[in-house]
Chain A
Amino acid sequence: MLETLKLRIYQGEQFIKDIENAPMRSQFRGFPKLNSDVDITPCKGVCPTGALNTENLSIDMGKCTFCGACANACKAVEFTNEYKLASTNREKLIVTPETTFEEFRKTAFEVREEIHRIFGRSLKLRQVSAGGCNGCEMELNACSNVNFDMGRFGIDFVASPRHADGIVITGPITENMAYALEDCYKSTPDPKIVILCGACAISGGVFQNSEKLNREFLEKYPIDLYIPGCPVHPLTFINAILCYGATHVGTSELN
């Protein structure tokens, strides 16, 4: 028992206090910066998911795996370490040479009025892995660990869709998961939100050309939030949710 207590004291506080302004290591590949003055030719054909459009220079963050292959090939693309990448609008994820990060952030979120009212103080989510490689799943689990501690903002993953306010989808949505996903969506009480988490969920990612996918779900039901990444970093996820719904349960209120 004494050992246990000593260990507890030795560990101290592990959580990130200000999650909205948490520093990110410089090596992290986040929001892309494009430069149309540089020759793009070496970048042609290097993008594994077709996120980089070399004809009409742009990067679609919804397809991008942030692998850095284009940045390695030429100087026209550079990845900053900005991690707030989410948007409520699919189109906004397409970054052109004119889009600055500040510009992107200003227009990234258009949230329905009722969202703040209903989910402003607490948001319970049901996660569905529909062909996810376990990368996004591990990062979503990390959101609840002692470092990121998402629960302090009233955001949690719950065991049943019946207890949830919304679902978080990871993976490209395989044919074999299409039914279960729809079932889960229908089991979630209204009003509810749908969040697409990661390149696979948003666009199919590296699996977009697979014959084993069935992405009809996305045409049938409205999508509320797109969170890019491969996998999505916990800071990207938590900040996306905070911006989306629980804006007034930010760290400022806790401090």
Chain B
Amino acid sequence: MKYGAFISLAAAALMGGCASTTTVDDFRPTLELIDIEAGEKLAVLGRRDAGHYETDRSFIDCLGKRLARSNLQVISEQEFVDALYPWFEPRTAPKALKRLKRIMQDPAVREKVQLEKIRYLIWLEGEVETQGMSGAMSCGVVPGGAGCFGYNSWEKSAVFEAIVWDLVDLTEEARIRVDSEGTSYLIGIVAPIPLLTPVESQACEGMGEQLRSYFFQEEG
């Protein structure tokens, strides 16, 4: 009984340690809601120009789905880059508004954006990093069975930045930075038990909520 209670307490303490801390910083030139008409769409795109990493597609999908649940029409990344091929390929994608304005000077591009009713573009950049691995675990196999003993822990941090561009007015509407960090554990009590901190989904939730608040009035 005492042993069971001890394990429950230890697990609860560790689960408490798995909680993540998420910070959302944003900048907007105005406090007014972002204007979006019925039928107009948003596109969520990841930056692909960095050599050593690419913005995680699972984060892009997560944010797209979260915005779609808020009654916003979201066009997928692949649909968007195919619809405007080749202007959003890694070689050609605009990094700043100046370049976007130049691309939008092409009547064919402008017509396509109007035809597809794509009003806003959300650029995402960032990644999830793992660091500070500590602890030790050993696993073994004996004729009677197998098991692992010990523990490992590691820090995970997710840092993502979003920039919202208006494809009609060709202006920057908002910038958001989300930092989410937490510690994950792997406990070996015969079987290895992972207690993972969902930093990426926390960052997605934080960014999704912030973006949603730009388009819709907060209730209550």
Q: Do A and B come from one complex?
A: no
